[in-house]
């Protein structure tokens, strides 16, 4: 389907394949622009320029030497570099060494300040580039402040007057919870705490919660997950808030990038194969056993799980079933 008037879509995320990846978020954000572009839309992405992203390897070009960003009672100057993915889709990277030139992507005491700087820098960079989006698509807590801003500090800004915000929840368990000072840094301190009805959140700032509260549309990674998070069991204390916005909540199943996830062309496996040559998979099993210094035996099951070491990913369940599973000779 082609649109008479293509939309201008700005996608903000903390990680994007192939530049930086911690989890599935990066895969989704790296693949989604290809599909949107195929529908005729003008898509651009933005992420931080972490220290591990080599400008030479990705041919990053500086497009803005200095963008001044307001952070509470002080200002920060950042530069903006540009890379590309897919069919020449621009990826703007916020270059702020003090905040992002670090060993890891997440896990620092100032993460709230870091990603607020990132989000504010992107919005100011778009102004400097004179590219006003129709839709800003935000992902997970790192960008949850943006829908909040669209209804507060940018509400009367002509450049963003007609922008709609979409907020996608990839993992509700990680919400970006901070103290009151983060509201001052974000410039929305006048709003204060927003969740008096939720005891655990009454006196803290939940950035993901703010994204859910203010976004024009909320999406999750599947229809089932959209239903699950409306319940106390899976709602991570935000189920009350999510139920209040269920008319704006949609489940959209994550898809696969068939160009990347294709065993017939995958350069990372030993022997490519397709649906007509499944027997070649045995060569991949043998090669992996050799590489991992395991006994090379075709009769021994080879199980693999790519994941963070967290119960949320099912490791506790795996521990309970592994012995019975192996006993069955599967």
> Distance between CA 96 and CA 294 in Å, rounded?
44
Residue 216 near residue 147, CB atoms below 8 Å: yes
Same domain, 179 and 67: yes
Same structural domain for residues 225 and 118?
A: yes
| Residues 319, 209 share a domain | no
The answer to whether residue 259 is domain-embedded is no
Q: Is 15 helix (H, G, I), strand (E, B) or coil?
A: coil
Cα distances from 191 to residues 121, 194, 237, in angstroms, run: 22, 7, 21
Residues 194 and 301 both lie in one domain: no
162: domain CATH number is 3.40.50.2000
Whole-model pTM: value is 0.88
pLDDT, tens digit, 9 for 90 and up, residues 81-96: 999 998 899 999 999 9
The residue range of the domain holding 323 is 278-327
Same domain, 52 and 142: yes
pLDDT in tens, 104-151: 999 999 999 999 999 999 999 999 999 999 999 999 999 999 999 999
Q: What is the arithmetic mean of pLDDT over 269-287?
A: 94
Supply the DSSP string of 98-144, one letter for each residue: HHH-SS-SS--TTHHHHHHHHHHHHHHHHHHHT---SEEEEESGGGT
182 located within any domain: yes
Residues 202 and 303 in one domain: no
- Residue 4 has a pLDDT of 65
Q: Answer yes or no: do 141 and 283 share one domain.
A: no
- Asked if 155 and 186 touch (Cβ cutoff 8 Å), the reply is no
Q: Which tokens go with 156?
A: 């009367």
Domain membership flag for residue 236:
yes
Q: Are residues 179 and 241 in the same domain?
A: yes
- Per-residue pLDDT reduced to its tens digit, 213-262: 999 999 999 999 999 999 999 999 999 999 999 999 999 998 777 877 89
Residue with tokens 């963008």: 67
- Domain assignment present for 271: no
Span 14-72, pLDDT tens digits: 999 999 999 889 999 999 999 999 999 999 999 999 999 999 999 999 999 999 999 98
Strands (E) in the chain, as ranges, are: 8-12, 42-48, 61-71, 74-85, 89-95, 135-139, 164-169, 177-178, 205-206, 217-220, 249-251
From residue 317, give the alpha-carbon distance in Å to each of 40, 270, 313, 323, 330.
44, 31, 9, 11, 17
168 vs 120: CA distance, rounded Å: 19
Q: Are residue 286 and residue 246 in the same domain, yes or no?
A: no
Looking at the structure of the chain, the number of domains it has is 2
Are 134 and 243 members of one domain? Answer: yes
**What is the residue-wise DSSP string for 245-288?**
TGGGEEE------TTTS-TTT-TTSSS---TT-GGGHHHHHHHH
Task: Determine, yes or no, domain membership for 2.
Answer: no
Residue 243 maps to a domain: yes
In total, the chain counts a number of residues equal to 330
Assess whether 21 and 132 both reside in one domain.
Answer: yes
Are residue 178 and residue 300 in the same domain, yes or no?
no
Beta strand 8-12 pairing with 135-139: parallel
User: Does residue 268 form part of some domain?
Assistant: no
**What is the C-alpha separation between 301 and 175, in angstroms, rounded?**
38
Q: Domain boundary residue among 186, 216, 251?
A: 251
Residue 180 lies in a domain: yes
CB atoms within 10 A of CB 4: 5
Residue after which a domain boundary falls, among 251, 270, 293 = 251
Residue 295: DSSP 8-state: -
Q: CB–CB of 14/142 below 8 Å?
A: yes
Q: How far apart are CA 225 and CA 242, in angstroms?
A: 12
CB 188 within 8 A of CB 70: no
């Amino acid at each position: 389907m082609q649109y008479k008037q293509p939309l201008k879509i700005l996608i903000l995320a903390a990680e994007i394949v192939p530049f930086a990846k911690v989890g599935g978020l990066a895969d989704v954000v790296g693949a989604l622009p290809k599909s949107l572009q195929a529908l005729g839309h003008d898509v651009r992405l933005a992420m931080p320029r972490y220290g591990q992203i080599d400008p030479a390897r990705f041919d990053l070009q500086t497009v803005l030497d200095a963008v001044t960003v307001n952070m509470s009672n002080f200002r920060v100057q950042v530069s903006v570099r540009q890379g590309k993915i897919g069919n020449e889709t621009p990826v703007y990277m916020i270059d702020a060494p003090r905040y992002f030139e670090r060993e890891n992507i997440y896990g620092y005491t100032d993460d709230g300040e870091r990603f607020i700087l990132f989000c504010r820098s992107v919005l100011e960079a778009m102004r400097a580039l004179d590219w006003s989006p129709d839709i800003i698509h935000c992902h997970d807590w790192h960008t949850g402040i943006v829908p909040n801003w669209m209804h507060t500090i940018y509400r009367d800004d002509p450049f963003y007057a007609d922008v709609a915000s979409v907020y996608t929840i990839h993992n509700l368990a990680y919400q970006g919870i901070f103290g009151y000072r983060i509201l001052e840094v974000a410039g929305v301190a006048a709003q204060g705490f927003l969740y008096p009805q939720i005891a655990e959140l009454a006196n803290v700032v939940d950035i993901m919660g703010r994204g859910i509260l203010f976004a024009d549309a909320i999406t999750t990674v599947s229809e089932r997950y959209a239903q699950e998070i409306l319940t106390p069991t899976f709602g991570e204390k935000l189920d009350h808030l999510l139920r209040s916005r269920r008319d704006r909540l949609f489940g959209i199943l994550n898809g696969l990038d068939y160009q990347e996830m294709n065993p017939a062309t995958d350069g990372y496996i030993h022997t490519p194969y397709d649906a007509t040559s499944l027997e070649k998979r045995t060569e991949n099993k043998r090669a992996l056993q050799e590489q991992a210094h395991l006994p090379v035996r075709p009769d021994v099951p080879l199980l693999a799980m790519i994941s963070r070491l967290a119960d949320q990913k099912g490791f506790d369940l795996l521990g309970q079933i592994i012995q019975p599973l192996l006993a069955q000779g599967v």
